[in-house]
Structure 1
Amino acid sequence: MPADMDAEQFRAFGKATVDYIADYLEGIRDRDVLPSVEPGYIKPLIPDDAPEEPQDWQDVLKDVERVVMPGVTHWHSPQFHAYYPTANSYPGIVGEMLSAGIGCIGFSWMTSPACTELEVTMMDWLGKLIGLPQEFLNCSDGPGGGVIQGSASEATLVALLAAKERTVQRSNSSVEKSGVLGSMKMRLLTTDENCSFRGSTLEAAIAKDIEQGLIPCYVIATLGTTGTCAFDNLEELGPVCIKNNLWLHVDAAYAGAAFICPEYRHHMNGVEYADSFNFNPHKWLLVNFDCSAMVKNSHDLVDAFSVERVYLAHQKQGLAPDYRNWQIPLGRRFRSLKLWFVLRIYGAQGLRDHIRKQIRLAKDFEAMVKADPRFEIVTEASMGMTSFRLKGPDHLTKTLYEKLISEHKIYLTAATFGKKFMIRFVVCSRFTEEKDIQFAWQEICRHIEPVEGNENDREKLIEIPSLKTNNCSTKESLRKPVILGNSR
């Protein structure tokens, strides 16, 4: 085979790979969600050096199953209930393929006008779908606009750097000269009994920091926290930020996708106060990683990231975004293609159905936990996540968790809340059905030590209980990040 694969060989290789992907996803329920390999497992399976001569693609594809699959954690398995979803769909996969095939590096409008202009429109589509105010959109009269970043972490850093630049620009010359904002201190502030970051807490922190000679400049509020999927109070935080000239960044990485359903939009009341808003279609909106949507004031991003060179200039500058000035890297992929494919092929209603189904399944799991007297709910089910533990000392729940992970049948993650060890259960895979929720619950119950002196009761509790929900309030607070300037 020639070193440069020709079009006919590519067609054969590509079609075979598509078949392999489809077979893999169709049969993913039959694979253990966690691999059983040990670190270093790949070394004896492949040569120490790259091959000198070309090899047949058929052999390469065969080795995916032999070498790669034994070490894969199957994030799209219906038995995957850890972290949060990472999205996957056939339209998203095809969009990714086309992006790779076109292979443009769309850092400016001129380097690929379609890459820029489709992203502009897709960010407007997303903003409208989740009900963001008009000023967040590219189609607004003001500086609103959206851009696709690689992750929520990247979007948070981009907003942080823009906030720092804006603060420096309004500071006096001594502040600029000393460069006090060259690095940023971060403070973690407490939340209320519902894990919500409140305005009074922020006001007290600002007053204390100013008294100590600090310059507050950036606040991160979360809609859907990692540990408990809690929601901060934007209606209280927003006015405090405006009063004190602080940049308010809203991180809705996971839960933001749910705002396409009108019944969940109350969670983002007060979003109009935000300077930047981010959520990840690659988490819950069936768009393959990476696709993190960040929107609001594009002028602040350009001020912070714009670098002009003769070789980057083009005749259409100013008429359309040059996205290199909205991000950290220069280059960028054609990520809006997969977003376009997913939004068109599923439609808004199809995506709403997906979100609502996963929320319902999480409620079903919560009801099973509540019906079993050995367990307690730590935090009420929020979106597609709930958390639970065995009643009693932490070591009982830790032992249960370790047994579940060691068997590789279901994958969950652990956390602490109110000084208690708990297990997080998240509905992640688009393939998850009610039977998978029941399977997970049966696995959990199977690994519990028999109730002392009452083996018959244990067997009865392993059965699926009726799905009847009760209310259960959270007990203690978490901590949320607020990033502040350095001391004078």
Structure 2
Amino acid sequence: MTPEEFRRHGKQVIDWIADYLSNIESFPVRAQVAPGDVRRALPVSPPECGSSFTEILADLDRTLLPGVTHWQHPRFFAYFPSNTSGAAILGDLLSSGLGVQGMLWATSPSCTELETVAVDWLAELLGLPRHFRTDATGGGVIQDSASSASLLATLAALSRATGGVTAHAGITGRHTLYVSSETHSSLEKAARIVGLGADNVRKVPVDPATLAMDATALDRMLATDLADGAIPVMVCATVGTTSTAAIDPVRAIGEVCREREVWLHVDAAYAGVAAVCPELRWVNDGVAEYADSYVTNPHKWLLTNFDCSVLWVADRAPLLDAMSIQPEYLRNRATSSGAVIDYRDWQIPLGRRFRALKLWAVMRWYGADGLRDHIRTGAALATEFATWVARDPDFELHEPQVLSLVCLRPRWPELSTGEANDATTRLMESLNASGALYLTHTKVDGRVLLRMAIGSPTTEERHLREAWLRIREEHRKTLADLALERAT
């Protein structure tokens, strides 16, 4: 493809994306295909001759678009937001156009140094501590996801807990990692990958009212495990759990970790970016004083398209001890000088994209005021939706309602818990099948709840009113169907 052909077809693609985003409400939210439909619609073998880009776009419309679930749809409420924006898309396009491989500072200085600036800017916007900056003892790095970030935190914590021995000699003895029942599954996966094993992932009880980790119970478990000869590696506190957006008491957990000399990792994948608003910085209470590592995802609620997750460490040394390997073919004068950051030592793979461009573009385009306005709008819409649920006698609001997530439970008179769970699931599946909105569920205390995750920049109050009307109508319909089924 010549530069002139690229210019012509690139304009076609930009127009396609702009039209798609303009007309996104016309699509059913969830893909309306059955397993295998998309594959069967595609040729079995690759083409012998090339196609025009016009033909490629036509196949996108005809074959692929029906199998797309529209994450940018204003009535997509299923998972935490996975926002994109024009600024992020264009930043990503520039990254693709430059085609930089940023594994070392030497392979593209701007790729590395823009990232150091972008993560330092974001740390400042979130009110994170000075030692998380790249010009201090720690630093930040863009990862593909919070799962990878938590894996790296686990490796760094393991390196510190063993004095760096595990990086060379492997794991000997019993090493333990502490989570709650609400912690993301990626932490157990991290334990498996680094060799701790799932059996050494210790589940700390939670407060039944808030679903937040019980710091006193954590202290007791650590004391017991230490007495039994275990080496505690890391505790993960969550700020905004996937299930209900519960927030662990980071300060209380941090005090326990400090006393027991255990690494504290804070997983704030969803909720951390809310701290761009000064009035919401309570979500990170205790992080500055106690967190050894911290992750949040701009690609969730901060208008930066996937993938863009930022991991900060208070002290970079354990991470570099765990990850740094110096083969001859990567040696260069800049690295040897010690004056540069080589981000290949801050991640699992060697290669890395120029992800900082899209995060930088978002912060430049929106500014702090624009980002705060976006977060405040999502949180305000969720609060409004929660008031509708709380006032309706046919529904129960799960409390506390946190930030932009609302969890609710339809009431099912005369049904057992198991029957009520089946009815709630049936209601949700019917709503999702309609294509009018998309919800997911969770389970708390044995009861199935519906999750309404709000935060798309395209979502307005009218979309919530439409969704609430459909939820209530489907509840009444399901109640009537159940009564008929019981009668027959």
Same fold (TM over 0.5): yes
- Mapped pair 1:189 → 2:204: yes
Q: Residues of 1 paired with 2:151 and 2:461: CA distance?
A: 39
Instruction: Provide the rounded CA distance (Å) in 1 between the counterparts of 2:205 and 2:78.
Output: 25
1:45 aligns to 2:41 (yes or no): yes
Pick one of 305, 309, 318 that aligns with 1:300: 318
- Is 2:379–2:455's contact at 8 Å kept on the other side of the alignment? no
Superposed CA offset, 1:126-167 (max 9, x none) = 000000111111133xx2210001100100000101111111
Q: Note the alpha carbon deviations across 1:182-216, whole angstroms, 9 max, x for none.
A: 42421111111212213211101112222333221
Q: Pick the aligned partner of 1:178 from 140, 150, 172.
A: 172
After TM superposition, the structure 1 stretch with the greater mean CA deviation from structure 2, 44-53 or 148-157, is: 44-53
Residue of structure 1 equivalent to 2:265: 249
The reply on whether 1:312 has 2:330 as its aligned counterpart is yes
Alignment of 1:234-245 (within 5 A): 234-245=250-261
- CA distance 1:169–1:451, shift in 2 (3 Å): closer
| Alignment equivalent of 2:10, drawn from 9, 14, 27 | 14
**Inter-partner Cα distance in structure 2 for 1:108 and 1:43:** 39
Structure 2 residue corresponding to 1:279, chosen from 296, 299, 306: 296
Describe the SS at the equivalent of 2:326: coil
Match 1:107 to one of 90, 94, 103: 103
Partners of 1:302 and 1:452 in 2: how far apart? 58
Corresponding letter in the other structure for 2:94: L
Residue 380 in 1 paired to residue 374 in 2? no
Identity %: 43
Indicate the SS of the match to 1:382. coil
Query: Once structures 1 and 2 are overlaid, which stretch shifts more, 74-83 or 371-380?
Result: 371-380
Match of 1:158 in 2: 152
Q: Secondary structure at the match of 1:381?
A: coil
Question: 1:166/1:287 Cα in 2 relative to 1: closer, same or farther (>3 Å)?
Answer: same
Say whether the 8 Å CA contact 2:375–2:455 is kept in structure 1. no
- Counterpart of 2:237? 221
Please list the CA deviations of residues 206-258 of structure 1 after superposition, one character each: whole Å capped at 9, or x if unmatched.
12222333221111000001111111111111121122121110000010110
Q: Distance in 2 between matches of 1:124 and 1:227?
A: 30
Is there any run of 5+ residues in structure 2 with no aligned partner, and where? 176-194, 481-488
Match in the other structure for 1:480: none
Asked if the contact 1:241/1:247 (under 8 Å) is kept, the reply is yes
Aligned match for 1:355, one of 364, 371, 375: 375
Q: Is the 8 A contact 2:271 2:283 kept in 1?
A: no
Query: In structure 2, how many angstroms separate the alpha carbons of the residues matched to 1:353 and 1:22?
Result: 23
Kept in 1: contact 2:272–2:283 (CA 8 A): no
Shift of 1:168: 1.6
**8 Å Cα contact 1:145-1:295 kept in structure 2:** yes
- Cα contact 1:380–1:387 (8 A) shared by 2: no
Specify whether residues 176 and 427 from structure 1 end up closer, same or farther in structure 2 by C-alpha distance, changes over 3 A only.
Answer: closer
Shift of 1:25: 0.6
Give the superposition deviation at 1:316. 1.2
Partner Cα distance (2:53, 2:309) in 1: 33
1:476 maps to what in 2?
none
Distance 1:331 1:438 in 2: 46
Post-superposition offset of 1:27: 0.5
Q: CA–CA distance in 2 between the matches of 1:187 and 1:452?
A: 41
Distance 2:405 2:386 in 1: 9
Separation in structure 2 between the aligned mates of residue 213 and residue 331 of structure 1, nearest angstrom: 39
Separation of aligned partners in 2, 1:441 and 1:117: 47
| TM-score normalised by the chain length of structure 2 | 0.88
Residue 131 of structure 2 is aligned with which of 135, 154, 157?
135
Deviations 1:269-314 (A, max 9, x none): 1102111000000001101111101112222211110000111111
- How far apart are the structure 1 equivalents of 2:273 and 2:393? 34
1: CA distance between counterparts of 2:478 and 2:468? 17
Compute the displacement of 1:171 (Å): 7.7
**Deviation at residue 36 of structure 1 after TM alignment:** 1.4
Q: Which amino acid aligns with 2:304?
A: V
* 1:410 matched residue in structure 2: 437
Contact 2:410–2:475 under 8 Å retained in 1: no
Q: Structure 1 CA distance, aligned partners of 2:297 and 2:165?
A: 33
The correspondence of residues 315-354 of structure 1 with structure 2, limited to 5 A, is: 315-317=333-335, 318-354=338-374
Residue aligned with 1:345, SS:
helix
Instruction: Tell me how far 1:180 sits from its aligned partner.
Output: 4.7
Post-superposition shift, 1:178?
Answer: 3.4
Following TM superposition, by how much is the alpha carbon of 1:170 offset from its aligned partner in structure 2, in angstroms?
A: 7.1
From 264, 267, 278, give the equivalent of 1:262. Answer: 278
What runs of 5+ residues in structure 1 fail to find an aligned partner? 454-488
Q: Give the Å deviation of 1:176.
A: 6.9
State the one-letter code of the partner of 1:200.
T
Give the superposition deviation at 1:14: 0.6
Q: Which amino acid aligns with 2:325?
A: V
* Residues 380, 386 of structure 1: 8 Å contact kept: no
Higher relative contact order (CA 8 A, sep 6+): 1
1:167 aligns with: 161
CA distance in structure 2 between the partners assigned to 1:199 and 1:402 by the alignment: 37
Question: Hey, what's the Cα distance between the residues in 2 that align with 1:372 and 1:123?
Answer: 44
TM-score using structure 1 length: 0.88
Residue 110 of structure 1 aligns to a residue in which SS? helix
1:72-151 equivalent positions in 2, closer than 5 A: 72-140=68-136, 143-151=137-145
Q: As a proportion of its length, which structure holds more helix?
A: 2
RMSD between superposed Cα atoms in Å: 1.8
Query: Aligned residue pairs: how many?
Result: 445
Report the secondary structure of 1:363's partner residue.
helix
Q: Which amino acid letter does the alignment assign opposite residue 289 of structure 1?
A: F
Q: Counterpart of 1:449 in structure 2: which amino acid?
A: R
